[in-house]
Structure 1
Amino acid sequence: MLFSYADKSTPFTLSPESLDWHLGNGWYRMGSTIFTTHFLFFKNRPYSAIWIRIDLHGFRFSKSQRKLMRKNAQLFDVRVGPSTINDERESLYQRYADGFDGRLSPTIADSLEDYDNEVVFNTWETTVREKVSGQLVACSYFDLGSESAASILGIFDPNLRHFSLGYYTMLLEMEYCLEQGFRYYYPGYVVPGYQRFDYKLRLGDADYYDIRTDAWQPYRTFDPQTEAPVEAQVAALTAFVEGFSSVGHKVRLKVYPLFEAGLYDIWNDDYFPYPYLVPLGQKDKAPLVVVAFDPKTSSYYVMECRHMVQTQLLFNAEYLQSFEADQFVTDLLAVRLLLAKSKQLDAILDYCRSLNIR
């Protein structure tokens, strides 16, 4: 069984200590589920999801953060308390969504899947209102565990973006956590090579979840080009392609956009879990042989994979047809047999040559 890089759970109950455990192991809330993933796919390419957290023990706001908080405190009234979803907040959400470049749920209720107050998460909110008019201009939602908190959703009036209200509400969440004695604050993931999420790194000295050791390490020691899971795959498989092609085997590194199939499937098959692969080919009706690189174990895998008929049931046909066949593999693959595994490129090259697949 291969390591599951994407997984989810829909708990009926979730204790504060259980939320702490999930957050501490690189999981995060999405609607009524809690999930983990280490690969993302947008703009037709894979990215790494690097989960981060701020250790609040000994944390101090920076000079620039204190300046922003003092400035905004003169203009806005702030409240922190149990979450509320109402027409006022939904109206602000719609204004925010209209100016947002990306995908969002239709409503706050849809985003949090909070329809009848039956959600198992202990969700709180910050609200920011203009002092004079009392108008709601920003709001954020965050979940509380026993000693951890996770920032889930932040919205603000796009006409007031120069007040950094989205960033400001995260600072307010952290301030509340400090006052209540929480140890960790989880702002979600950052994405190497995609700057939209970099603002989270301005919150303070962060740690990142290292899937190789299942431990949190200082982010300042992290080298995305060699240690991020997607980047590690590209580097390792590019080296394989160059080595294998040098002796007359023409192969190509391809993108596999269906790597999260296991999240949506009811058959619980052992689906291929990586966003990159090198197809070697197949003989007659034999299974397809592919080479992958596992960033958790830093090992090359040679595997037999079968095409699964569920592709059209799990993925939109128009979506699949949007990918160029020479760059992408859009057949749903399930791993049937691990043929070889090695940390050494030369050993994998020798094994693949011995297969004599053309």
Structure 2
Amino acid sequence: MRHTLPIAPQFYVTAPQPCPYLDGRMERKLFTALQGDSATKLNNSLSGQGFRRSQNVLYRPSCTDCAACLSARINVADFTPSKSQKRTIKRNAGLTRRATSPWATEEQYDLFRTYLDSRHADGGMADMDVFEFAAMIEETPIRSRVIEYTDTQTRELIGVCLTDVLDDGVSMVYSFYSPDRPRDGLGNYIILDHIEIARAAGLPYVYLGYWVPGSPKMGYKAKFSGLEVYMGGAWQKMRNPDDFEPEQHPLNTDPIAEQVANIALPDLSPTKG
């Protein structure tokens, strides 16, 4: 009888490259592979420690001279929509939500390309072809869903979100939507709808990715009540966003070995059947 011994995940660091959020800064990521029978356990554990998933990789910012990126999530129980958010919900009442398996379609890719060309033409994903798009959607070792939003009358695909289902919430891995309806606030609406998805499923959190003080691209996340950010190894309720400045965060992060040593890993022993 062959016995499989649990193997602790190995962590690596990317080479520095220009930060997409703060001008003049360099970003670096700490990452590990997400694979095998332990993928779900590892994803649940590390998502609760500020990591994010991209296909078969979990990563977290680990910049040498900046700690501005803060993992953010909404505590569903503490969320109350603002007047503006209520208007956003009302404006999008004509959309229909459909949850599907993580399978890429040409219609999704066409919307994805239209979104990128309009909103992020110079971003890191601008050159992504249909095969890379399919890999982003389909290469997931955990429980993931594609949430599609269509116009009830025209049947047109309006928005899409690749969403992971965690033990304690839903994680919005990546969303994109039609740029032709700017007044509808589709990006905010997709978040608002995920709050309802989490609430209906009895899950306490909606994971939003990173919030970066000082980055206009990320300002919208701070407008959601019930927001929590991961700082100093723990989730904390968001203070006044204006109190956060990138310069106020530590100028030096802990050495990589110390960061890895402080990551709490789940029991990855094979489940006995």
Structure 1 residues 216 and 53, CA, compared in 2 at 3 Å: closer, same or farther?
same
> Please, what is the CA RMSD of the aligned residues?
3.0
What pairs up with 1:1-358 in 2 under 5 angstroms? 6-13=29-36, 14-39=38-63, 48-73=68-93, 75-101=94-120, 102-104=123-125, 106-107=128-129, 110=132, 113-114=135-136, 117=138, 119-211=140-232, 214-220=233-239, 223-225=243-245, 228-229=248-249, 232-233=250-251, 294-295=252-253
Runs of 4+ in 1 over 6 A off after TM superposition: none
Mapped partners of 2:223, 2:130: distance in 1: 26
Instruction: Indicate if the aligned counterparts of 1:39 and 1:49 stay in contact, CA closer than 8 A.
Output: no
| Local SS of the residue matching 1:220 | coil
User: Aligned partner of 2:135: which letter?
Assistant: E
Instruction: Indicate if the aligned counterparts of 1:17 and 1:145 stay in contact, CA closer than 8 A.
Output: no
Instruction: Indicate if the aligned counterparts of 1:29 and 1:35 stay in contact, CA closer than 8 A.
Output: yes
CA displacement at 1:147 relative to structure 2: 1.5
Larger radius of gyration: 1
CA displacement at 1:163 relative to structure 2: 0.9
Structure 1 residues 120 and 169, CA, compared in 2 at 3 Å: closer, same or farther?
same
Mapped partners of 1:124, 1:189: distance in 2: 20
Q: Percent identity?
A: 20
CA displacement at 1:100 relative to structure 2: 2.1
1:68-100 Cα distance to aligned partner (Å, 9 max, x none) = 212211x32222343331001001111111112
| Local SS of the residue matching 1:141 | strand
User: Aligned partner of 2:29: which letter?
Assistant: A
| Structure 1: segments with no counterpart, 5+ residues | 234-293, 298-358
TM-score normalised per structure 1: 0.56
Deviates more, 1:176-185 or 1:75-84: 75-84
TM-score normalised per structure 2: 0.72
Instruction: Indicate if the aligned counterparts of 1:40 and 1:48 stay in contact, CA closer than 8 A.
Output: no
Instruction: Indicate if the aligned counterparts of 2:96 and 2:150 stay in contact, CA closer than 8 A.
Output: yes
Q: Bigger relative contact order, structure 1 or 2, given CA contacts below 8 A and separation 6+?
A: 2
CA displacement at 1:38 relative to structure 2: 4.2
Structure 1 residues 40 and 296, CA, compared in 2 at 3 Å: closer, same or farther?
closer
| Local SS of the residue matching 2:174 | strand
CA displacement at 1:226 relative to structure 2: 7.5
CA displacement at 1:181 relative to structure 2: 0.7
Structure 1 residues 188 and 155, CA, compared in 2 at 3 Å: closer, same or farther?
same
Instruction: Indicate if the aligned counterparts of 1:150 and 1:185 stay in contact, CA closer than 8 A.
Output: yes
1:125-170 Cα distance to aligned partner (Å, 9 max, x none) = 2222122211111111111111122111111111112211122112
1:278-298 Cα distance to aligned partner (Å, 9 max, x none) = xxxxxxxxxxxxxxxx3559x
| Local SS of the residue matching 2:245 | helix
| Structure 2: segments with no counterpart, 5+ residues | 1-12, 14-27, 256-273
Mapped partners of 2:172, 2:219: distance in 1: 15
| Local SS of the residue matching 1:36 | strand
User: Aligned partner of 2:177: which letter?
Assistant: F
Instruction: Indicate if the aligned counterparts of 2:77 and 2:226 stay in contact, CA closer than 8 A.
Output: no
Mapped partners of 1:210, 1:108: distance in 2: 37
| Local SS of the residue matching 1:124 | strand
